[in-house]
Amino acid sequence: MTKTELENCILLYGKDIYSFCKNLALHTQEADDLYQDTFLKATELAGSIDYEKNPKSYLLSIALRIWKNKKRKYAWRNRIAGTLSLSEEISVPDNGSPDISLEGMALQKEEVLLVRRAVNALPDKLRIPVLLFYMEEMSAAQISKILKIPEGTVKSRLYLARKRLKKELEVVLNEND
């Protein structure tokens, strides 16, 4: 990857990849490391798996692979350092509503917090497809290539994840009635 390609990738996909890293690692320092390692690995590699020539898929797959390799280290760090929980520094997504009140923003933040906590509590087997599907807007076919599992399995895991989350977030869903 040339420097120009790297700059373009950061410009186009930086936010998406960083959000993914942050939700994978769950801690800012680890997320920064993971994000940095992902782009450096992409630069270092001569080439990679051809995910329908989709650089975002490529970067996500690198991030995922690095994270899996380092997961044990992260877990160990968490145990000894007890780093700040990511949930406490959540930023509220822009829902396009300019007139939202402070109270409304607080409620929205609380809602986001509850959803993210519920997602983070899922086993990785379900959590990662959810992040790729809802956060990164990858299709089931693309997720199947990134995770190298059959498309039917992706759909099945998304289904199970939704089912669990629906139950877990029953209160939030009812509040929105």
Partner 1 sequence: MKTIDELLKQALTPNDEPDYWLNQKILSMAKEEKTMKKKHLKPVSAVALSAAVILSIGSVSIYAARRFLMPEHVAREANDPKLTEAFQSEDAVMVNETQSLGGYDVTFLGTVSGKSLSDSETMSGDELHDDRTYAVVAIERADQKPMPKTSDDSYGEQSFFVSPLIQGQNPAFYNSFTFTGGYFETVEAGILYRIAECDNMEPFADRETYLCVSSGAFYDSNAYVFDETSGKISRNEEYDGTNALFRLPLDPSKADPDAAAEYIKKIDEEMSGGNSETETETELSEEEKEISDFTEKLTPENLATYAAPVESTRQTLTPDSDGNLNYEYSLDNETGSGSTAMEELFPDKKPGIRLGSFSYADTMESICIETFTLNEDGTVTFLVYKPK
Selected range binding partner 1 among 17-25, 77-85, 99-107, rule: CB under 8 A: 17-25
Contacts of 57 (CB under 8 A, 6+ apart): 51, 138, 142, 145, 146
Residue 91 is a binding residue for partner 1 (CB under 8 A): yes
How many residues sit in the footprint of partner 1 (CB under 8 A)? 82
Instruction: Give the separation between CA 7 and CA 100, rounded to whole angstroms.
Output: 35
The 8-class DSSP code of residue 132 comes to I
Binders of partner 1 among residues 98 to 117 (CB under 8 A) are 111-112, 115-116
Residue 123 is a binding residue for partner 1 (CB under 8 A): yes
What six digits make up the tokens of 94? 């822009």
Least distance in angstroms from the C-beta of 100 to partner 1: 13
Q: Which is nearer to partner 1, 44 or 99 (CB)?
A: 44
**Other CB atoms closer than 10 Å to residue 38's CB: what's the count?**
26
Least distance in angstroms from the C-beta of 102 to partner 1: 19
Binders of partner 1 among residues 18 to 77 (CB under 8 A) are 18-20, 22-23, 31-32, 35-36, 39-40, 43-50, 53, 58, 61, 65-66, 68-71, 73
Task: Answer for the pair 82, 36: CB distance below 8 angstroms, yes or no.
Answer: no
Selected range binding partner 1 among 77-85, 97-105, 125-133, rule: CB under 8 A: 125-133
Candidates 25, 60, 63, 119; binder of partner 1 (CB under 8 A) is: 119
Of 109, 28, 18, 31, residue with least CA distance to 70: 31
Contacts of 119 (CB under 8 A, 6+ apart): 23, 127, 130, 131, 165
Least distance in angstroms from the C-beta of 26 to partner 1: 12
